[in-house]
Amino acid sequence: MTSIWFNIALFFELLATGGFIIYIIKQEKWVFRCSYWILTAGLVFHTIFLVYRYSILGVFPVLDLKSAFSFFAWAVIVVYLLLNVKFQLMVLGSFVAPFAAFLMLISYTIPGMEGPVKPIFKSLWLSIHVSTIFIGNAFLAIAFLASIMYLIQERHIKKKHFGSFYSRLPSLATLDRINHYAILYGFPFLTAGMITGSIYAQYALGRYWQWDPKEVWSLISWLLYAALLHERLAAGWQGRKAAVMSIACFLVLVFTFLGANLLVGGYHSFSALGAR
Amino acid sequence: MVKIISIGMNHETAPLALRECLAPEADSDRHVLAAMRNMEAIREGLFLSTCNRVEALFTTEDPDQAKKAILTILSELGRIPEERLSASLYTYEDLDAVRHIFTVASSLDSMVVGEPQILGQIKSAYAKAVKEKTSGVILNRLMHKAFHVAKRVRTETGICSSAVSISYAAVELAKKIFHLLKGKKVLLIGAGEMAELAARHLIANGVESISVANRTFERAVQIAKAFDGLPVSFDEIPQQILDADIVITSTASKEFVISHSMVKNLLKKRRNRPLFFIDIAVPRDVEPTVNNLNNVYLYDIDDLRGVIELNMNQRQQEAVKAERIISEEVIKFGKWLKTLKVVPTIISLRNKAETIVQAEIKKSSTALSDLTPAQRQVIEILSRSIVQKVLSDPILFLKGKSDRSTLDLYLDMTRRLFSLDIDGDNT
């Protein structure tokens, strides 16, 4: 399934990653601008690749781990470019681009599965379910990255040791705000993804909920994010605590994505999906 | 020969108490300028007076007399005995004075190196000198060059942008915590030059309001007035911390004014909003463990010094660059000053030539009476340009010698060759 479009997208995203890393070291604005456009070009090719796959499969290309990683990378880049419009935070790219390129590299190395798709997957509900979940995850991933940046910067300021990151990272208030908004925007997508998923399950499997491991873990992550959001909005949680919690939540989410697939099994797992 | 002299005091040479005596008052500048204008010995004068600096810049042909006069003016202005005053004064002459004024204008001599206000203060001091007509050829050029140097230092070096002083460092840190200082509230506890300077910097960076607490309420009122702030009593401090974002402490208290438990109890009510303590006092006012609280950041004076050292290296490089710019400009100015010495001779040379031309044309006026006015004009132009061509080489030669030690010899020879002094030309 490795198509020329995938390779071009991967190439551009790796190039953008290099650019963003040079940017964080050199702090030259034009380097950022170049990297930004290279990343946008990568996104365009990535989109072409996804559309091409969709036209071949007749379903959202997310049914195996390889495609899932690639789609996740796409969603992360889209969300980053959207957030950048609001926050204009250049250094975030230096964290997001490597993250997306990393996802793409994983996708590149693991084998995909070919073959006809079961008719049960050719449903609009599935497409909506998967795309909303991934957009939500992408927001939460960016919240996770912003939280890591926050903890690095907070450590500099608290410990009064000013490493090379101190001048390069933005202020604590900015990072906290990104963390806050990324979760605020991501959470509704996650919720919508779970609801559409259960509607799809009713339509395809006849039951809304069947305690599949991935369902359970999704619910746990959802509850954790709900708790974090509640504490932020109601109790005024912010700063370090919120950042740590955001990181913990995201790790649970990663476990939901990978662990529930690879370790626990269940009908959501790609091996089960692949039995088509 | 005209000398440029600068006499003054700054935060390094004079204690605060003395500077306070000479603190700028409504009409003091005009008064000093008028006094300078009336002094026989002083040709041109400029007077600069800020919170941290008093400076009299003047040109004179009689340095000793002029210096004495300035000392008298300053001592009368501040009502300070001359002996006490002169101990805190520095004096720069000629190119050292030029270098000094360039350094001051570039904000390299400021208490907060790189602070931008000084240039504005110098500009207004110059404007006053122009208005009072105490500024002449040399000071006009010197001041314009000083503005030029300041601009070059600002744009070509990073000296104004890096955290170079404690209060600047505090502002930079506050920005790393709060991003924008707009709308933030400052609580200033105690008094002191450094704390007030830090507060002033925070205000300059957009801080919305400031409250001032002091053991003696009267003093609080006094300080608050300077900042347009709100005076509060010492007992109100916990209540004030509730609203504040940045707290600057600088009291003489031997015990902690702000304890760990006091801040801890306030955090929940503050809804975890970040709180930044700047403790400038020695011994410290804020219990060090406050830094361990979530979203609370405490910096004492040593921590802030650490931040500055971070920039020290960079700053030194930038300072070298700034010094180079200033040296360049001092040399240029020195060259210009020397050409001034040639100017009188060149002028008398030209005057003499012009007199000769006019006299000769007058002599021939009867012979030329048949000519049309246009033809007569051609003859005048012709004779003038011949004279100018003849003089052009000697003049260029003199200008070329203007920065040589042999200049006086050549000037003297020129005056004798053309017998300039016998003509009664009193330049």
pLDDT digits (tens, 9 = 90+) for A10-62: 899 999 999 988 888 887 888 888 999 999 999 999 999 888 888 887 777 77
What secondary structure letter does DSSP report for A267?
A: T
Q: pLDDT at position B424, please? A: 47
Supply A91's token pair.
């250094």
Mean pLDDT, chain A, whole residue set: 85
**Closest by Cα among B299, B75, B70 to B169:** B299
* pLDDT tens, residue order, chain A (276 aa): 557 888 888 899 999 999 988 888 887 888 888 999 999 999 999 999 888 888 887 777 777 778 888 889 999 999 999 888 888 778 888 889 999 999 988 888 887 766 666 667 777 788 888 889 999 999 999 999 999 999 999 998 888 877 777 778 888 998 999 999 999 999 999 999 999 988 888 887 788 887 778 888 889 999 999 999 998 888 888 888 899 999 999 999 888 888 766 766 666 766 555 443
Q: Which three-class secondary structure state does DSSP give residue B231?
A: strand
Rounded CA separation B36/B59 (Å): 11
Interchain CB distance below 8 Å, B176 and A172 = yes
Q: Which three-class secondary structure state does DSSP give residue B117?
A: helix
Sequence-ordered list of residues with C-beta below 8 angstroms from that of A19, at least 6 positions apart, any chain = A31, A32, A34, A35, A38, A97
What's the angle, vertex CA A46, arms to CA A40 and CA A50, rounded to 5? 145
Closest chain B residue to A167 measured between Cα atoms?
A: B176
Q: Does B362 touch chain A (CB under 8 A)?
A: no
Place of tokens 């509230």: B185
Contact status, residue B281 vs residue B251, Cβ threshold 8 Å = yes
Contact status, residue B128 vs residue B352, Cβ threshold 8 Å = no
Interchain CB distance below 8 Å, A237 and B272 = yes
Q: Best mutation site among B171, B173, B176 for testing chain A: the one with the most A CBs within 10 Å? A: B176
Chain B contact set for A240 (CB, 8 A): 294-295
What secondary structure letter does DSSP report for B235?
A: G
Contact status, residue A13 vs residue A101, Cβ threshold 8 Å = yes
Closest chain A residue to B303 measured between Cα atoms?
A: A160
Interchain CB distance below 8 Å, B297 and A158 = yes
**C-alpha distance from A28 to closest chain B C-alpha (Å):** 16
ipTM: 0.82
Residue A199 C-alpha from the chain's centroid:
23
Chain A contact set for B180 (CB, 8 A): 173
Interchain CB distance below 8 Å, A173 and B299 = no
Ranges of H-type helices in A27-160:
29-57, 65-87, 93-109, 124-159
Supply A86's token pair.
């609001």
Interchain CB distance below 8 Å, A239 and B291 = no
Chain A contact set for B274 (CB, 8 A): 172-173, 238-239
- Nearest by CB: B274 against A162, A174, A239: A239
Contact status, residue B338 vs residue B141, Cβ threshold 8 Å = no
Q: pLDDT at position B427, please? A: 41
Interchain CB distance below 8 Å, A173 and B291 = no
Supply A161's token pair.
């040791």
Query: Which residues of B form the catalytic set?
Result: 51
What secondary structure letter does DSSP report for B291?
A: G
Please enumerate, as own/partner, the contacts of B211-215 that have beta carbons within 8 Å and a separation of 24 or more.
Answer: B211/B185, B211/B186, B211/B187, B211/B240, B211/B244, B212/B187, B212/B188, B213/B187, B213/B188, B213/B189, B213/B237, B213/B240, B214/B189, B214/B190, B215/B190, B215/B251
Chain A contact set for B271 (CB, 8 A): 235-236
Residues shown for chain A: 276
Q: B74-110 burial string, b = 16+ CB within 10 Å, else e?
A: bbebbebeeeebbebbebbebeebbbbbbbbbbbbbb
* pLDDT tens, residue order, chain B (427 aa): 788 999 998 878 887 777 777 776 767 888 888 888 888 888 899 999 876 788 999 999 888 888 988 888 888 888 888 888 888 899 999 899 999 999 999 888 876 667 677 888 899 899 999 998 898 888 999 999 999 999 998 888 877 654 346 777 888 889 989 988 888 999 999 877 678 778 888 888 888 889 999 888 888 888 888 888 899 988 889 999 998 999 999 888 888 899 999 999 998 888 888 999 998 877 788 999 999 998 999 998 778 777 766 666 666 778 888 899 999 999 999 888 888 878 888 888 888 999 999 898 888 888 888 888 888 889 889 999 999 999 999 888 888 887 777 888 888 888 888 888 765 444 4
Q: pLDDT at position A267, please? A: 67
